[in-house]
Structure 1
């Protein structure tokens, strides 16, 4: 008599996986935002010798000035995350509004395509440097404005492409026949059908903003010493990486962990591909 086959292992639902990834992404975000409250030492007070090895009151050792690396890492993510959130919110909101209107107004749609082509061809680093150098005083706000200016045309094109099938749908034609205004149709008829696309775009813009702001900080276009910033810490402590590698590894890992976790959540929120839709049907 043969034994019964083992019961099939039930795979977790997509909703459960998404919630797990959201919780995973929320952890580094919460730690970064609450970091200043968790730091064991003040931001600029030397507690060790320059590039001292981990030990004593400095679990990750000291930086180039003997400041506690752990404390500076806990302080260094708040402004980066808030800046990336601002870029993602402004870029996504602008793209959602303009993209939905562009599919209803062909002239605006053609203008969006031309602007997106120029933005894609322009190297992001060159655009950031041009805007930062022209901005009075430069600094973090110049980088944020540059990230928004360079990201909006491409984001609008994505939303417009996703909204194009809805522009010819029956409910949109009915709204046009009723004499509804273009903003009403864009916001009430088209945009609600693009929730997954907008959420995915928000995640992608956030990750892109993290990389752009970090790259600018590494090049000292944005935050300037003695500010506590992860990318700036990598640049400042690169010369002593052989003495205390944690002064470079810790902020680099924080940037990578933040970007990877948000990217995983973004991927889980992305709309199903046509192949998946056919399989399910």
Structure 2
């Protein structure tokens, strides 16, 4: 008994340390991006150098196509992207958790949700973004967020339903049904507390997916429009001058990639093994 306990202690401690190492970079990067505007040395719309000027003392990353400070726009560009991705992740995770739990508790609902998810998953992401953005009055970031939520929910519902299905036949759920509890009560107070790891990991994965969808929309000029400071928009705007000042394109591209990779690693470290198998298949 004591040997098992002693062996288990270091293993659990090493697991927590590994999780902390994987989640800390993502948390620090998100915090830096959200606080970036406070660290900027210039205003985002004021030209401070020649167009596509190389890095200098006052402009460590040089100038963009209008001579604006690339570093300043980089520090401002992550705030709205991360905020939008967080909104997408929260909306998708909330909807998927509710629908997934309902689907396993009510088989008739489950079949309807599964059919709707099958149809939605078949829709290519880029086509869905374009259709929703073009149909949305005025387009803009709201249209992109709506598209990301609509396109991300069906797959997320499948993940939650798969994790909740084994719990639906457990003793405490059957006892709640016998007591006559409502489906919403069972979903929120019986199933959801046992799905914390799955929901938390799903939130991180949907955040990464939101970053991808919003960035892709920016490349297609759907969503934020000039002169907004947005990482994806910066890449598209400064692509013609990449040979004059590569940092105007490389810096925001690296910011998007590093953000997605670190958050993805953090989500993978929090995910239970069953969810890792689903997301990698």
TM-score of the pair, normalised by structure 1: 0.92
1:273: Cα distance to partner?
Answer: 4.9
2: distance between equivalents of 1:264 and 1:127?
Answer: 27
Is the counterpart of residue 252 in structure 1 residue 224 in structure 2? no
1: distance between equivalents of 2:13 and 2:75?
Answer: 34
Computed over aligned residues only, the root mean square deviation of the Cα atoms, in angstroms, reads 1.7
Matching residue of 1:64? 65
How do 1:35-46 and structure 2 match up within 5 A?
35-46=36-47
Matching residue of 1:91? 92
2: distance between equivalents of 1:272 and 1:220?
Answer: 38
Q: Which range is displaced more, 106-115 or 209-218?
A: 106-115
**Change over 3 Å in CA distance of 1:165–1:11 after alignment to 2:** closer
1:21: Cα distance to partner?
Answer: 2.1
1:18: Cα distance to partner?
Answer: 1.2
Is the counterpart of residue 201 in structure 1 residue 202 in structure 2? yes
1:22: Cα distance to partner?
Answer: 2.0
2: distance between equivalents of 1:272 and 1:118?
Answer: 27
2: distance between equivalents of 1:260 and 1:12?
Answer: 25
Matching residue of 2:106? 105
Is the counterpart of residue 190 in structure 1 residue 191 in structure 2? yes
How do 1:16-35 and structure 2 match up within 5 A?
16-35=17-36
1:12: Cα distance to partner?
Answer: 6.2
- 1:151-209 Cα distance to aligned partner (Å, 9 max, x none): 11211111011100111111111111111111111111111111111111101100000
**Change over 3 Å in CA distance of 1:10–1:198 after alignment to 2:** closer
User: SS where residue 228 of structure 2 aligns?
Assistant: coil
1:10: Cα distance to partner?
Answer: 8.8
2: distance between equivalents of 1:159 and 1:61?
Answer: 46
User: SS where residue 65 of structure 1 aligns?
Assistant: coil
Matching residue of 2:147? 146
1: distance between equivalents of 2:93 and 2:179?
Answer: 29
2: distance between equivalents of 1:263 and 1:164?
Answer: 25
- 1:241-263 Cα distance to aligned partner (Å, 9 max, x none): 01100000000011011111100
Is the counterpart of residue 131 in structure 1 residue 115 in structure 2? no
Structure having the higher helix fraction is: 2
- 1:219-257 Cα distance to aligned partner (Å, 9 max, x none): 101100111000000000000001100000000011011
Matching residue of 2:279? none
1: distance between equivalents of 2:273 and 2:65?
Answer: 48
TM-score of the pair, normalised by structure 2: 0.92
* Unpaired stretches in structure 2, ≥5 consecutive residues: 1-9, 276-281
2: distance between equivalents of 1:66 and 1:16?
Answer: 45
How do 1:109-120 and structure 2 match up within 5 A?
109-120=110-121
The structure with the larger Rg is 1
2: distance between equivalents of 1:124 and 1:61?
Answer: 34
Is the counterpart of residue 171 in structure 1 residue 172 in structure 2? yes
1:11: Cα distance to partner?
Answer: 10
- 1:12-62 Cα distance to aligned partner (Å, 9 max, x none): 611111122222111111111111110011111111111011013110000
